[in-house]
Amino acid sequence: MNTSPVAAGSDRDPGAHLTAKRVHIGKYGLDVGPLGHLAAERARLAALSWQSFDARPLGATIGAELRGVDLTSDLPDEVIDEIRRALHAYKVIFFRDQPLTAAQHVAFARRFGDLEIHPFIPSNTGQPELVRFEKSADVGGYENGWHHDVTWRERPSMGAVLHALRVPQNGGDTLFADMCAAYDGLDDATREQIDDLVAVHDYAQVFGHVVQKEKRAEMRATYPTVEHPVACTHDATGRRHLYVNRFFTSHVVGFDEAESTALIDRLARRAEIAEYQCRFQWEDHSVGFWDNRAVQHYAASDYWPDVRVMERASIVGERPRR
């Protein structure tokens, strides 16, 4: 007697006929089924090998933990070049047990380009290139939203190196989303719609409240709103990726407010698709290095009132291009 459970009226798994096709549940605007467009990139990453370290991939197309490299040492140029190639491949890379001093942190990040000085977040380290995120019972986090960093700059960050100095026993993970996969997963009509659009980015949506009233005109003159393509071409890989977020993107040029808000929200929500993500659980002296063009990130604010102390060095990028 066959006692295997089956769906009512069928002896097949209800997903057996789907292969790599998606099914739309219209009532809720929900798409289910395998994301087949990830397969080629997933296979390509799985086949990579490296000379200077071992890589353990985390997500389907994003994230890898690199083992066998010491970031506290003065690494040879060929190792730095290979780390750069790994960053472009995996889009975010992680290292464990890297007890960097502030000076070593800055020195490592500077191997990849000039470093930013953040005008709104203090360094508190004696190293102005490092911003310090020190959360406790008295200082709450507000990073828990999907975003690219500093898209309000004319030349936003190419990447960022984040060092965990003290983390809670659990909680405080950071999630990363592959915005190349997010672009590739759009339907043809949406890609055609957005490929020539530009959006305005503005620091004031998040940081406006920290600027003293008498300094607002000066800061606005220094950091005016900027326009970037809604979909960009990555400088190093040539891949297309989405480049709007709900932290800093104000509006889409040429759209009325309602249409603009709806489009930005719809595109930004592509980061929320779990298959595009990886998640990293920090330990003391873990280091994360992400490509700020290709990924968005989300710092989970689930550890209050515990203490979480992180320092970040951000690398100056080029102006985003269509």
pLDDT value at residue 6: 46
| Residue 124's pLDDT band (cuts 50, 70, 90) | confident
- What 3 state SS string does the chain have? CCCCCCCCCCCCCCCCCCCCCCEEEHHHCEEECCCHHHHHHHHHHHCCCCCCCEEEECCCCCCEEEECCCCCCCCCHHHHHHHHHHHHHHCEEEECCCCCCHHHHHHHHHCCCCECCCCCCCCCCCCCCEEEEEECCCCCCCCCCCECCCCCCCCCEEEEEEEEEECCCCCCCEEEEEHHHHHHCCCHHHHHHHCCCEEEECCHHHHHHHCCHHHHHHHHHHCCCEEEECEEECCCCCCEEECCCCCCEEEECCCCHHHHHHHHHHHHHHHHCHHHEEEECCCCCCEEEEECCCEEEEECCCCCCCCEEEEEEEEECCCCCC
Q: Does the structure show a pLDDT above 80 at 127?
A: yes
State the catalytic residue, choosing from 148, 149, 228, 308.
149
Share of the chain above pLDDT 90, in %: 79
Q: Does the structure show a pLDDT above 90 at 121?
A: no
Q: What is the pLDDT of residues 185-216, one digit of tens each?
A: 999 999 999 999 999 999 988 887 888 888 88
pLDDT value at residue 210: 80
State the catalytic residue, choosing from 88, 118, 147, 270.
147
pLDDT value at residue 3: 47
Span 276-300, average pLDDT: 98
**Is the domain defined by 34-316 classed in CATH 3.60.130.10?**
yes
Active site residue 67: no
Q: What is the pLDDT of residues 23-81, one digit of tens each?
A: 888 888 888 889 999 999 999 999 999 999 999 999 999 999 999 999 999 999 999 99
Q: What is the domain partition of the chain in residue ranges?
A: 34-316
pLDDT value at residue 243: 98
Range in 3-7, 27-31, 166-170, 237-241 with the lowest mean pLDDT = 3-7
Q: Does the structure show a pLDDT above 60 at 15?
A: no
Token couple for 216: 């607002």
Q: Does the structure show a pLDDT above 70 at 14?
A: no
149's torsion region: left (phi>0), alpha (psi -120 to 50) or beta? Answer: beta
The closest alpha carbon to 229, from 254, 192, 199, belongs to 199
Q: How far is CA 149 from CA 82, 135, 158, 202, 276, in A?
A: 24, 19, 9, 12, 18
| Residue 19's pLDDT band (cuts 50, 70, 90) | low
Active site residue 24: no
State the catalytic residue, choosing from 105, 251, 297, 308.
297
pLDDT value at residue 215: 84
Taking the C-alpha atoms of 71, 77, 79 and 81 in order, what is their torsion angle to the nearest 10 degrees? 110
Active site residue 147: yes
| Average pLDDT of the chain to the nearest whole number | 92
pLDDT value at residue 289: 98
| Residue 144's pLDDT band (cuts 50, 70, 90) | confident
Span 281-310, average pLDDT: 96
| Residue 4's pLDDT band (cuts 50, 70, 90) | very low
Token couple for 201: 């980015």
The closest alpha carbon to 159, from 89, 240, 88, belongs to 88
Q: Does the structure show a pLDDT above 60 at 17?
A: no
Span 257-265, average pLDDT: 97
Active site residue 148: no
pLDDT value at residue 20: 65
pLDDT value at residue 1: 43
